Amino acid sequence: MSGFETIQEIVSRAYRQMPPDLWDHISGGAESETTLRRNRQALDSIAFRPRVLRDVREIDASTTFLGRKLRIPVFLAPLGGMNQFHPEGGLPCLRAACGYGTMTFLSSVSQLDLEVAAKTGRETLVFQLYVRGDEAWVEDCIRRVEESECLAFCLTVDTAIYSRRERDLFNRYAPPGRRGKPREGFQYQAGLTWDLVDKLRRRLDIPIILKGIATAEDARLAVEHGVDVVYVSNHGGRQLDHCRGSIDVLPEVIEAVDGKAEVVVDGGFMRGTDVLKAVALGARAVGIGKLQAWALAAGGEEVLTRMLEILENEIHMAMALIGVTAMDQLDSTYLHRETPVNFPDEFSAFPTLEKHHRR
């Protein structure tokens, strides 16, 4: 295996190997990056209330999501432009997910054809859509999803327009496929309404996921429109700035959904303890985006698998020290609000790495 003992080492290798503008592209956020930092700050504002003198010799960190067993409550979130991070694009992510025992969300802008992805990892594959065409274009996407036998269909709903990502603007950076070209198709994303959700519900027999829910009001509407999974996300702080941290949104969404849909979340999750905080608040699983991109850039499938193994080790250790042996034992009684001790940024979850790269 790769020889990595910590996630910090994986991130450090990615930092050294990626061009600075590409690092900024995946690691940065919109405008002042307040939302990006709040994602981390919100996680760091939650402390544990551990219980002791419990038999924790046998730990089971698995969960179920969409009726499938996940080895840990973690899935690979949708990423665009994955060919920037590895010559094979998203294929190593699919292979790692299949081999490890989790799910992959394949983005429609990942530069990996759905049909190719389905041949590699159909049993772990969820398709995520950015709408970049008219009704006929969407219908063709639906047909391809059906033919590829995906586990579920995920519609991203927080990208009505493309945000101002100022690290990219400072660097004059654009992904290879868009250099010198205007962004196309965003007028269709800007025109989305709940009517498309209703159409998807009528057309598809597989679960429907809405990604980008950030309020209880929209979570209730999602359930009313037949959505199976509410995906709490602020796009990793890369869309609307000055939003709340994702984990701060989670409790109101869980209450609004009231058990009528599964709830998942992403946004700043870097550690096994982060995952357990989300599960304790009611999330079924946690998506990892930036961490996935860093691991992909650091060494492809092997390093992605090692990153998941390290997360699993962190989760097991934290569960034992909290005093639980299964995910369904976690609830909010194990959590307490506290003052963060670190200033939040892209390195703040990794203190050794932060000290090294801030010298």
Q: What is the pLDDT of residues 194-238, one digit of tens each?
A: 999 999 999 999 999 999 999 999 999 999 999 999 999 999 999
- What token pair was written down for 245? 């941290």
111 in any annotated domain: yes
- For residue 84, give both structure tokens: 């920037």
Q: Is residue 310 one of the residues assigned to a domain? A: yes
**By C-alpha distance, which of 130, 327, 326, 309 is closest to 211?**
130
- Quote the pLDDT of residue 90: 93
Averaged in consecutive runs of 10 residues, what is the pLDDT profile of the chain (359 residues)?
88 95 96 98 98 98 97 97 93 96 95 92 94 95 96 97 95 78 82 97 97 98 98 98 98 98 98 98 98 97 98 98 98 97 90 69
Domain with 93 in it: what CATH number? 3.20.20.70
Distances in whole angstroms, Cα of residue 312 to Cα of each of 33, 57, 236:
29, 16, 22
For residue 242, is it within any domain?
yes
Please say whether the beta carbons of 176 and 232 come within 8 A.
no
**Domain-embedded: residue 1:** no
- Whether residue 37 is contained in a domain is answered as yes
Mapping DSSP to helix (H, G, I), strand (E, B) and coil, where does residue 76 land?
A: strand
3-class DSSP assignment, residue 307: helix
Does the residue 78 lie in any domain? yes
Question: What pLDDT score does 352 carry?
Answer: 85
Whether 2 is covered by a domain: the verdict is no
Within 28-122, residue ranges assigned H as helices are 34-44, 91-100, 114-121
Per-residue model confidence (pLDDT) at position 178: 67
**Active-site option among 25, 235, 316, 336:** 235
- Residues 344-354 pLDDT 10s: 988 899 988 86
Whether 187 maps to a domain, the answer reads yes
Q: Contact, 311 vs 71, CB < 8 A?
A: no
| C-beta pairs of 338-344 under 8 Å, 24+ apart in sequence | 338/45, 338/46, 338/47, 339/45, 340/41, 340/44, 340/45, 341/44, 342/44, 344/37, 344/38, 344/39, 344/40, 344/41, 344/44
Which residues constitute the domain of residue 263? 7-357
356 is catalytic: no
Distance from C-alpha of 6 to C-alpha of 311, rounded to nearest angstrom: 9
The one-character DSSP state at 244 is P
The number of residues making up the chain comes to 359
Please tell me the total count of domains within the chain: 1
Alpha-carbon torsion (77, 80, 86, 89), positive or negative: positive
pLDDT of residue 359: 46
